[in-house]
A and B are shown apart, each in its own frame.
Chain A
C-alpha cells in the first residue's frame, strides 16, 4: 500500500461555495506522480499535455503539469486519501 504522504506536500480545502480540494504534490515527486496518475486515470481531455481533465472510477479531477490537482465534491479527507492511494500505487 502506497503512503500518500510520500507524494503529497499539502492539501488545501478551498474557500467558496464549491467544495474543491487542491492537492499539491511534492516538487521532487511531481513527474512520478503525473506519470502514475496518467497510467491509472482516463484522459477526457488534455491541453498541450499540460492540463489534464481526468476520470477515475466515479471521480473527475484536473491534473496540472505544475504538480497540482483539483478534486471536486469529495466527502472528506479519507475519501481523498483513498483515491490518491489507488492512483499512486
Chain B
C-alpha cells in the first residue's frame, strides 16, 4: 500500500497556494504533476549531458544516446514489451494513434474494409480514422455504449466481421474511468484477423499494463499523464507489424542510408532499424530522460499500489460526494472495481464550468466540458460534465475538503 503523505513530499507544486488556498489537484486525467526526481533528471540532462543523439562520436553525444536508448528499454520493461524495438517514442498518445492511422491505415485499408471504433473514445482515437477513411474510403463502425457508460460488448460482437481490419478502443475511458476488457476485444478481433489499437493514455499511468498479456497489436500512451514531461509519449507495437510498416515521418535518424544514383538521378533510401525508423528528426531526448525517471518512480511505488490507492480514493470520494449535496449527480457506473480514479459529475442547474470555477475559487482544480469526448457525452445525454481524477499524491483529506466546498455549491 502506498503512502500518499510520503509521496507528496516529492511534489513541490503541491505546496503552492491558489486563490489563498492550498492547491488540491484533481485534474490528473488531463495531466499529472511531476516529482522532483523527474524535474531533477531533466535539469541534470541539460546541465551535464545535452547533445544530439546518434549523430556524433563525441562524449556528450554518446552519453545522450545512451540515456535515450536506456529510456526506451526502461519503458519497454515497464509494459513488458519485447525490448526497445517495440517502443517508439512520439509526442504523445495523439501522435501515436496518428502514426498507426497514417503508416498502417493509409496503406492497408481499402474501400471494402472496416475499422471499428468505440463511441467512448477520446477524439484522438476517432478523428485520425475519420480523416484516413475520407482518403481510402473504408467504413468506420462505432461500438455502442450502455446507459451506465460501459462498453456494449454485444454491439462489438455484432459489428466485427471478416471485413474488420482494425479495432480501436480505449483501455480506460477518460470521462468515466471505466476499464474496458481490451483483452476480450483483442481476442475476438484476432479471430477475424483484425488488429487492435488500444488507447492506453488513462490505463498505463494507473494500472499494471502488460502488453504481452493484453496481446493488443498497438498500445498508445503519454508521458505527461504518468509523472513525466509533456511532449513525450509512446507507441508500443508488435515488432513483426512495425517491421512491415512504412515510416510515418521522413528525415534524419529514421534512415540507414540515402544514396544518390547519378545515372538514375534519384535517391534510394533504406530505413533505419526499429524503433528509429519511426523517430524522424532530432527526438525529444530530454523528454525521454524525464519519462525514464517517471517510470522508475512508478516502479518504486508499484503499479498494483497505484491501482489500489486510486480505488480506495474513488470509493471514498463517491461516498462523500453523494452525501454532501442532493443536487449532485454522478455519471456512469459507481462500481469502483470496474473503473479507475475518475468521477464525472454534475450539479443540478449548473453548467460544468460553473462547478469548475466555483471549485477553482477554493484552490481545487477539476476539469469541465466534454473532455475531448463529445460523442460519449451526447450518448449519455450530457451537455458537459465536471470531472475529478486522482493520482498517487491525492489524499482522503483532500476529498473531505472537496466535499466540504461542494456542499457550498448548493447555495448557487
Q: List the interface of chain A (C-beta within 8 A of B).
A: 14-18, 20, 22, 45, 47, 50-51, 53, 62, 64-66, 68, 70, 72
Contacts and interface: CB of A to CB of B under 8 A. Distances in A.
A64 B353 CA distance: 13
8 contacts: A14-B353, A18-B353, A18-B383, A22-B357, A47-B411, A64-B358, A64-B360, A68-B361
Contact of B384 (A15, A66, A68, A70): A15
A67 to B, nearest CB: 9
Q: Is the interface of A mostly helix, strand, loop or mixed?
A: strand
Nearest to A20: B353
Interface string B355-391: 0011011000000111000100100000110000000
B366 to A, nearest CB: 14
B160 to A, nearest CB: 32
Nearest to A15: B369
A16 B370 contact: yes
B1 interface: no
Nearest to B362: A50
Contacts of B66: none
Contacts of B354: 20, 62, 70
Contacts of B374: 15
B360 A68 contact: yes
A51 B358 contact: yes
Contacts of B361: 50-51, 64-66, 68
A14 B369 contact: yes
A17 B368 CA distance: 12
A51 B370 contact: no
B412 interface: yes
Contacts of A15: 369-370, 374, 384
A64 B362 CA distance: 10
B368 A51 contact: no
B383 A16 contact: yes
Please give me the 7 A-B residue pairs with the lowest Cβ-Cβ distance, nearest first. Answer: A16-B384, A17-B383, A15-B369, A18-B351, A66-B19, A64-B361, A16-B369
A15 B354 CA distance: 13
A20 B408 contact: no
A70 B370 contact: no
B369 A70 contact: no
B351 A20 contact: yes
A50 B21 CA distance: 13
A47 B19 contact: no
Contact of A16 (B352, B360, B411, B412): B352
Contacts of A66: 19, 357, 360-361
A69 to B, nearest CB: 9
A51 B412 contact: yes
Most B CB contacts (10 A, CB to CB) among A18, A45, A47, A65 go to A18
Interface string B387-412: 00000000000000000000010011
B357 A68 contact: yes
Given A14-B368, A17-B384, A64-B361, A47 B353 contact: no
A32 to B, nearest CB: 17
Interface string B340-359: 00000000000111100110
Contacts of A68: 357, 360-361
A36 B198 CA distance: 52
B383 A22 contact: no
Of listed A17, A50, A62, residue having the most chain B CB within 10 A: A17
Contacts of A45: 411-412
B162 to A, nearest CB: 38
